[in-house]
Structure 1
C-alpha cells in the first residue's frame, strides 16, 4: 500500500491565502456595514467593495466620521453576517486616502454614490465629497486572524442623537385604564 506524499507547504499556504481573501471579499461585499477600528473606538461604517478593497466616504458635513483612520495607518475590520448579525470574519486593513480627481477616486465615488442613502444634495454630492470629505480605501493585509473569544460588546459612543424623553404625564393613567378594562 503506497502513501501519498505530503503536500508542499507553499501550496497549502497559498490555498489558505486564496480562501482567506475569498472569505473576506464575499463577507464584506454582502454586509451593509463593517466595524472599523483605527486608533479610536470601533465604528460601524457603510462602504462599497471595489477592486479588492472596501471604500468609505466621510469626515465631512453630514457624512460618517473617521476618527483614528489616517492615511498609511492600519485598521481592524470586523464583518457581520447580514442575516444573523453574528461576526463572520475579522481582518487587518491598510488605510489609504484617495486623491480627488484621480481615476481610482472617480471609480470609488461612482460606486459610493449609488449606495449613499438620503443625501440632501444628490446632484452635487460628488463635488461636495471632493471639496469637504475624504474617500478611504481599506485594503486587506495578510490573512484573517482568529475570531475573538469575547463578545466585543461595548458601550455606545456618546452622541447628541437620542430617543429618550420624559414619560408624558398622562401615560400612567392611560396604561392603568387599559389594564382595568382587560381584567373585566
Structure 2
C-alpha cells in the first residue's frame, strides 16, 4: 500500500454514523466513471485466480455464504478470492512482494466494497449503520497492523490469514446477513 493510501485509510479511521461519513468519505478518492470495473482490475492486479501454490483455498464459496443480494455476494466472492490468493503465497520465495500485491488489492477492493455497502445502508435506512461501518474501520486498522508484522516474520502472516478468514466468515454470516435481511424486509434489496 502506498504511503499516501495508508495515510488516507488511517485518517478516515474515526468512523461516524452520519450519512456521508465512514468509508463514504473516501468517495472523493474514486473519481466518477472510475468506480465501474474497479473490483475486476484490482483482482487482476493481485493476480487473483492465478495458482501460486498447491495449497487448498481457505475459503471455498458455497451457498451457505450467499446472502441473496447479487452485488454483495459478487463482492464477497472477490474478497474471498483475494484472501485465498494471499494464502497461496504465504510460503513463496517472493512472499513479501506477493503479500503486498495481494494486500494492496484487498485494500482497494475492500474500500470499494465497504463504500458500496455503506451507501446501501444509507439508502435503506439501516439502523445499525454506525456499528457496521465501525466494523469496517476496525477491519482496515487490524489488517494494516498485521500487514506491518507479516512482512518481517512468517508467524504474523499466519495471524493475518487467521484474522482475515475469521473476519470474513463472521462478518458475512452475521453482520452482512442482518443488513440484507433488513433491506429485504423493507423491499429494498436486489
**TM-score (structure 1 length as normaliser):** 0.25
Higher RCO structure, 1 or 2 (CA under 8 Å, sep 6+): 2
Larger radius of gyration: 1
What is the TM-score with the length of structure 2 in the denominator?
A: 0.25
- Bigger helix share: 2
More strand by share: 1
